[in-house]
Amino acid sequence: MELKKIGDVKFVEGGVCAAKGFKANGIQCGLVHAGASLTVKKNDLAMIVADDECSAAAVYTTNKVKGAPIIVTKKHLENGKARAVIVNSVNANTCNADGVKKAEMMCSLTAEALGIDENDVIVASTGVIGQPLPIEPIANGIPALVEGLTYDGNPRAVEAIMTTDTMPKEIAVEFTLGGKTCTMGGMLKGSGMIHPNMATTLTFITTDAAVSPELLQRALSDVVKVTLNRVSVDGDTSTNDMVCVMASGAAGNKELTAENKDFDVFVNALYNLMLNLARMMARDGEGATKLIECRVSGAVSEKSAEIIAKSVITSSLLKSMIFGEDANAGRIYCAIGYADVDFDINKADIAVASVAGKVILGENGCVVPFSEEEAKKVLEAEEIQILVSLGEGTGSAVCWGCDLTYDYVKINGDYRS
């Protein structure tokens, strides 16, 4: 999948270990679903550790039901500082009476093994909801996890956070602040239960740039809105969604404490990182075969454009249409029409585009004659653009989704077993 680059950044290797001073590791500690046997030897426990204390920030799910790790992490990040991340897959540690206790235990076990304060540990979990988290495999696995920490351990770590993901999702970028070369890396898990409603995933980001906790939080909160919050796979918002960033300052730049040109450079680097992670997540939606990108222009405001673009990418009928490679223009107009925003549909033009070309499907709110053969060629591509022009203003927005296939139901029909 092609990476999208905005502004002056350079893509580099290394994921969460690309930035100076960050180690990572992932192991198979033996977590399994209740009633299931351990048949797949996939890593299920990961750790990221900074050489020194970092500025830290996070954004969490807006679901009223929140995983126990989120409750604990929120408390630990009240001072804007962190040193390590401990995260498991298989079990979400959510809707459990002992969930907070288990999350706190994960932090204390990590802190003891690393010789750090447990309040400097970020904890996260992903997997099945409503099953008690067995702490014994985690406790037994942490010594080996710590022993295997390396400055190139990102591939092992990213594997450990995958659930129904079919591919690892990681990326890193280089940029310059005050004459110093800085690096930022991230890894993400997300394939199902993905909907634009604050974070929509587990995402871990590291950077060696020096940034105050307050500005780090401001940058993250703003960039989430135009990246991860504009992705939808299935309309379900998870209970465990979290995006966290740790900034070590090891690059040696003067700490960012105010919004200025250097802060803009940092925000752009974060945008590039999270934009591409968002696209990876949409492309790897459960059972997906295609990435859908809806571009809305000519709206009265950016917010109006975003609402319409989200309406398009979340439409089950449109997602099915893309899977079937059937250019049903009526489904696009329908999805635009029930968006909760005022606009004149009689000015709305629509088209589909891909590497195979562009086909106009509608003008001024009406379907126009088009070549079904050319439209099918466009929709055969792996990445499809739905283009909507409203002709009312300068507002624009982009949202990402995926097609809806038979495999989505197969994957989720027996997810626990």
pLDDT by residue (tens digit) across 379-413? 999 999 999 999 999 999 999 988 887 766 766 66
Label residue 72 by pLDDT band (50, 70, 90). very high
What ranges make up the beta strands (E) of 97-247? 121-125, 169-177, 180-189, 202-207, 242-247
203-253: pLDDT as tens digits = 999 999 999 999 999 999 999 999 988 887 766 677 888 999 999 999 999
Q: What is the pTM of this model?
A: 0.88
Q: Closest Cα to residue 81, out of 57, 60, 109, 48?
A: 57
Residues facing residue 81 across a β-bridge = 55
Q: Is 255 exposed, middle or buried (0-12, 13-18, 19+ CB in 10 A)?
A: middle
Angle formed at CA 196 by CA 195 and CA 199, multiple of 5 degrees = 100
> Would residue 200 show up in a list of annotated catalytic residues for this protein?
yes
Examine the pLDDT at 416 and tell me if it is beyond 60: no
259-268: pLDDT as tens digits = 999 999 999 9
Distance of alpha carbon 291 from alpha carbon 4, whole angstroms: 14
Percentage of the residues of the chain whose pLDDT score is greater than 90: 77
Angle formed at CA 240 by CA 383 and CA 200, multiple of 5 degrees = 25
Tell me the domain boundaries of the chain.
10-283, 291-413
Phi, psi of 415, deg, nearest 5: -60, -40
Q: Residue 257: its pLDDT value, please?
A: 97
Three-state DSSP class for 353?
strand
Q: Residue 4: its pLDDT value, please?
A: 86
Distance of alpha carbon 188 from alpha carbon 274, whole angstroms: 9
Which member of 61, 164, 183, 200 is catalytic?
Answer: 200
The answer to whether the beta carbons of residues 325 and 359 sit under 8 Å apart is no
Examine the pLDDT at 24 and tell me if it is beyond 90: yes
CATH class of 291-413: alpha beta
Q: Residue 239: its pLDDT value, please?
A: 83
Instruction: Specify the pairing of strand 383-389 against strand 291-299.
Output: parallel
The answer to whether the beta carbons of residues 150 and 23 sit under 8 Å apart is yes
Kindly report the CATH number that applies to the domain delimited by 10-283: 3.60.70.12
Distance of alpha carbon 49 from alpha carbon 153, whole angstroms: 11
Q: Residue 62: its pLDDT value, please?
A: 84
Cα–Cα distances in angstroms (integers) from residue 381 to residues 80, 310, 332, 350, 378, in the given order: 44, 21, 18, 18, 6
Instruction: Tell me which DSSP letter residue 35 carries.
Output: T
Three-state DSSP class for 262?
helix
118-143: pLDDT as tens digits = 999 999 999 889 999 999 999 999 99
Examine the pLDDT at 189 and tell me if it is beyond 60: yes
